[in-house]
Amino acid sequence: MTEATARDLDRLREAIELAENCPPSATFRVGAVITDAEGAVLATGYSGETDPHDHAEEAAIAKLPPGDPRLPAATIYSSLEPCSTRASRPLTCTRLILDAGIGRIVFAWREPALFVDCVGAETLSAAGRTVIEVPALADLVRRTNSHLPGVAPGQDS
């Protein structure tokens, strides 16, 4: 498995901070940052940014033109593992990432089985994408989501 770089850690912290912008919700508060191959930010998003049903990755991807030639070399940073099952919209964040052609995914916390059984990381990896999990930052994401039952910093999920 590929290790996270110092740039990855910085951008992932930015995604985690973006989650603080999420409106109050009964679901996960998530932030996402998409960068080009050199690390320049292409787009950002957070859950509920323009619509209560928005997921962070979805909000960020929607800000980029379809077929953007920078996306195969891009990285999407998400505070939470991209969803692989979803009730609010027909396309999951995993599917949106695959369809956008984003080649690299870095996230901090695997989605706990509070709402669905998520296999986003496995699905993306099986599709040939580079997937990097950074559990050292998961506590920051749990803190942002401590409004959910059973979620608290310091817990393993």
**Residue 49 within a domain:** yes
**Residue 62 within a domain:** yes
Kindly report, residue by residue over 20-44, the tens digit of the pLDDT: 998 878 888 999 999 999 999 999 9
Res 155 pLDDT > 60: no
**Residue 93 within a domain:** yes
pTM of the model: 0.92
CATH label of the domain that carries residue 110: 3.40.140.10
Rounded average pLDDT over 87-92: 82
Query: How many domains does the chain contain in total?
Result: 1
Q: How confident is the model at residue 153 (pLDDT cuts 50, 70, 90)?
A: low
Kindly report, residue by residue over 118-136, the tens digit of the pLDDT: 777 899 999 999 999 999 9
**What distance, in Å, lies between the first and last C-alpha atoms of the chain?**
20
Tokens representing 99? 């369809």
Q: 49: domain range?
A: 6-144
**Residue 151 within a domain:** no
**Residue 97 within a domain:** yes
Q: Annotated catalytic sites, by residue?
A: 57
